[in-house]
Amino acid sequence: MYNAPSKWLSEAFNKTLCNLLRKVVAKSKRDWHERIGEALWAYRTTYKTPTQATPYALVYGVEAVLPLEVQIQSLRVAIQEEITSDDNDKLRLEELEALDEKRLQAQQKLQCYQARLSRAFNKKVRPRSFQAGDLVLAVRRPIITSHKPKGKFTSKWDGPYVVQEL
């Protein structure tokens, strides 16, 4: 079913994915379908400022083990290889139990980030007040207008209109 608020989220993600694909598929653009996995991996393992976490960590509870960490033995991989399967199961269970709290923290950080952006935007907005009798212009919306614009130089405003009451 169509959900209007999620439409913009999916369009924003599609734009991000297209930008990633443009970087991954540099010379031959015909193999983009083969490289989409690499682009998605890059997106999922990239730190996001609003949540202060990676999407992978918010889904699975741990950071992803990068292929480079396996090739060049990192400390995390070396420690993980020394752990017995029972200890690994206990550790993984603890990580999964902490996952809900991690997601809640990410949601709170996202809300704080959005509030900061909103405050920064609202500082730049000029408050306007109108009185009865003032002349105002209205934005011409393509759906509402009865006539089609005649070109790119036509006005985007209708009016002037007189404010009758507040």
What percent of the chain is predicted at pLDDT more than 90? 33
Question: Could you tell me which of 126, 103, 116, 120 has the C-alpha nearest to residue 54?
Answer: 103
Task: Please state the rounded mean pLDDT for residues 27-35.
Answer: 79
Residue pair 61/105 in contact by the 8 Å Cβ criterion:
no
Does the pLDDT value for residue 147 go beyond 60?
Answer: no
Does the pLDDT value for residue 106 go beyond 90?
Answer: yes
Which H or E element spans position 89?
A: helix 85-97
The answer to whether the pTM exceeds 0.75 is no
**More confident position, 101 or 146:** 101
Compute the distance between CA of residue 163 and CA of residue 134 in angstroms, rounded to an integer: 5
Write down the pLDDT at residue 148. Answer: 60
What DSSP assignment string belongs to 25-60?
S-S-GGGHHHHHHHHHHHHHTS-BTTTTB-HHHHHH
Most confident of the ranges 89-93, 95-99, 138-142: 95-99
Torsion of CA 92, 93, 99, 102, to 10 degrees: -70
